[in-house]
Structures are given as C-alpha cells and as structure tokens.
Homo-oligomer: A and B are copies of this chain.
C-alpha cells in the first residue's frame, strides 16, 4: 500500500510538461558541446593555480572570474566584500622517523590548515599511534603526555558514499590537535584522508580549542603510504622518535570578495535562486576538483542560459564564494547580506564534490518540497542523474538556511569514488578532470535550476 500511495502522490504532484523534456535535452546538448566551463577551469587551474584564501592567486581568481562573467549577457555582476583569514604554509614541511640515533627515513607530510608552526628547529618526540579521537581515552594520558599523537584511522573502504567515510575518519584531522592537547600531546600527525595508498599528504583545516587552557600544538598530515610505514615501524620499535618541522602561520585578515553574476527574473524578480561553488582552494594542488569545478559549472549555468536564449522568471545568481576551506567567511557574509537586504532566497544549489560524472542531488527540503522535487526525477533519467536523496546542500550555501528555513538547499552529487584520491592534495590538478564529466554536471545543474525557475516550490 505504501508503494501505491507514493505512486498516486507522484502522479497528482506531477508538475512538468512535455516541453520540459525538450528543454532539458537542449540544456544537456548545449552543455556537452558549447560550454566554456572546461576552458575556464583550465585557466583557473593552469594559469592561476591553488587559491588559498588571502593569497595573490585567490585575488587573481576573483578578478578573472569577475571579468569572464561580465562578458556574459547578465543584468549585473559585482564583488561582495568579505574579510578572510590568511594562513600561509611557509617553507616546505619536513619529517622523518628516527628508529635509533642518526638512523632515519623521511616521510611525506604537510601542515594542516590553521596549524601553528613547530619550533624553528623542528619538534622531535616519541610518537604514539591512536585510532580515532576515541582512541585517546583508550591509550590514556600516561602514554600520550610529552609525545606526538599519530592518528591513524583509515577511511573505511566499504562506504560506497566516500563522503561518509570522510566524515567519520575526518574527525581526527579537524579535532585531533585540540583533543590530543588535552592529554598532554606536543604535536599531532594525522593519516591523510584519502581512499588510496600513495605518497600525497592531504591538508585540510583543523579547529583548535577555544578554551585558552588547552595549548595549541602543531599538526600535520602524513601520506597514506607514510602512515602505513610509520605504523609498521612502530610495531617493530615503539620507542622510535618522530621529527617534523613546519613554519606555517596565521597572518592578519585580508580583504577579499565573493564574485556574483545575476540575471534578473522576468516574473518574480524578488525570488532568488543561487548556484555556486567556492573559488578558494588549498595550496598544494591547483584546486581543479575542489572547487574550481563547482565555480566553472556555476558560471556555466549563466552562460548556458544565454546560449539557449532562456530568460528566467526568477532571479538567478551565480556565486563564487570565497574562503570555504578555512573560515566559510564568504558563505557567511553572503547570508548576512541577504538578511540585511531582506532578500528572498527560494533555492540554493552548490557543487563542491568534484567535477566527476553527476549521479544526482541531495536536497535539504521539507517533505512537501521534496515530494515535488521527486516528480522531476524522470526528466533526469536519460542523463543518469536520477539519484535524489535528502541531505545538505553545501557549506557555502548552508548559512542561508538560518536566514529563512524555507529555502531549499541542494548539492550536486557526482560519482564519489575518486574524489578523495585528490581532495586537498598536490594531485588535485586539471588533468584529473574529464571534460565530459564536468559538462554533464553542468547540464544537470542547469536543468535543476531551470525546473526550480519554472515551477518554484
């Protein structure tokens, strides 16, 4: 009976016409043959490179995307000012394992974003392996005090949705330094959040404790191969010492911007639909998947509507958010301005899980809103983008929910198998983005925006 009810509900809610099939085919065909997204990404990745908040490259990316968006047929483009943190990596990090005095081998590490530096001559201490934050309690203060904590919980390969594995093992990276410090640790080494065994350390932000009694200790990621080697070596020799040296630091905040392009709605100009990605990235790779892809796809939605001559009923904004990686200042500022200006956002769509083949979308929506969205699924079936499920939209658009809880937030869900091979690492580079996959994602995003624009909620 449940199935029958769902079926009747679907039929009664069905809210699209036959012309939509055609329009969505036109959108996908245009995405696959005429989009500039891949070329924009080439420029962002290969001419500009990694775009850490507050860096010269981030500023270049603001100017480049602003210039490109102004070439499109839009009603306005503008830069939305936001102050962002500036953390710099400094000289390349260096680490070794010392199994006996003078007997050492090097392992690849990188500082975690926001970490403090080690002493100028580096930090050498015994190291103790811990699995997950909860492992600290098991190992106990007596075995941690004065040592470096080596968090070595791997990402669980059995999760088909790798994001879930990331969420689970990721606590080590985000909270490991703050928690280990409470047990008297002097530094933290975290196994890279990667689904692969290789030599790339993966950076990413950490959160120090806000409690001034908890010391801030330096923290770095070690490559997965390095983690395996360190773990095996510790088994043989629990008394080995670990040395690392990093000179990263946090400087004064810097003026930066969200980049916004807008097409005014012809019928409901006060109803705003936002589509975005984040323009900042980490500094090790060129940020092609995270999140150059989401930016050029969002720009591509505007360009695509231009190319097919589509005049939206509602106001559409493409937003390149600044500082998702280590502060979320851009997304926060955008929502604050929306509140201040009494803007009515009805829908937000973010692409921030890589430029891979799109599989579907997540939706943060009420039951009624989601039921309506589900009636659109058949339109996405020919493009194999028909996995719709409940979930968050994306970090940058998240703060909009606090302004108006009725806004529907959606996230593009690309195929998740390869994302964490590249995420936050030196191999997040342009050659790992496939043009067809990127442009299929654009087609899916533009189609969803089109349907929301046509039918609202």
**Which chain A residues have a beta carbon within 8 Å of chain B's beta carbons?**
3-4, 7, 11, 28-29, 32-33, 157-158, 160, 162, 195-196, 357, 359, 382-384, 387, 415, 417-418, 421, 434-437, 440
Contact = CB atoms under 8 A, between A and B. Distances in A.
A357 B414 CA distance: 11
Nearest to A34: B157
Contacts of A157: 32-33, 436
A455 to B, nearest CB: 21
Given A7-B4, A158-B29, A421 B440 contact: no
Max count, chain B CB within 10 A of own CB: residue among A29, A33, A160, A440: A160
A281 to B, nearest CB: 22
Q: Which 9 A-B pairs have the closest CB atoms?
A: A29-B158, A417-B436, A32-B157, A417-B437, A357-B415, A32-B158, A357-B417, A160-B383, A33-B157
Contacts of A162: 436
A359 B387 contact: no
Nearest to A11: B3
10 contacts: A3-B11, A4-B4, A4-B7, A28-B160, A32-B157, A195-B436, A417-B437, A418-B434, A418-B436, A418-B437
A414 to B, nearest CB: 10
A29 B157 CA distance: 8
Given A7-B7, A157-B32, A415 B415 contact: yes
A379 to B, nearest CB: 13
A383 B382 CA distance: 20
Given A33-B158, A157-B33, A387 B387 contact: no
A154 to B, nearest CB: 11
Contacts of A384: 160, 359, 387
Given A7-B7, A417-B357, A434-B421, A28 B158 contact: yes
Nearest to A162: B436
B33 A435 contact: no
A395 B415 CA distance: 28
A305 to B, nearest CB: 18
A196 B435 contact: yes
Contacts of A440: 160, 417
A390 to B, nearest CB: 15
Contacts of A418: 434, 436-437
Contacts of A435: 196
Contacts of A196: 435
Contacts of A382: 160
Contacts of A359: 384
A195 B435 CA distance: 9
A204 to B, nearest CB: 20
